[in-house]
Structure 1
Amino acid sequence: MPLHLVPDAPKPAETEKDRIRKRIKALPKPKDMIQCPRCGGREVIETRIGVFETARKWSGGTKALLCALCFMRGERVVLK
């Protein structure tokens, strides 16, 4: 059976949202500030996975920073 390659689909036209995201990502920011690579947002949510409660204190677990704006849209974007 011969292999048939499908040609690349044309790139979608740039929308207003895409232009706004590019503009927000290009804004100046402090060197150490965390910014979402997907939406350009700078709000974060800190989550902890695998936490134990011992004597009414939390211990253990793995922390992760999530983009708050993407999280509200139902996406889970982990920030470094």
Structure 2
Amino acid sequence: MVEAYMLIQTEVGRAEVVAKQLATLPGVRSAEYVTGPYDVVVRVEAGTLEDLRVMVAPSVAGVAGITRTLTCPIAAAARP
């Protein structure tokens, strides 16, 4: 299983609506609207990096109101 964070910029005033729409998509584990340089942070998962690139990321980027995305695959989970 491959996981990634997607950092998303939205049209002004659309972050909450976009986050709610993203939360319903296949492969999306969580979607939160935040403050700062990005408006929404999404955690996504797929079976392979290729599946993430070909299926999950485009479905996220296709949501109305999104102006830019940055996908950051998780290299390794931190262990306490």
Larger Cα-atom Rg: 1
Using structure 2 for the length normalisation, give the TM-score.
0.27
**Structure with more helix by fraction:** 2
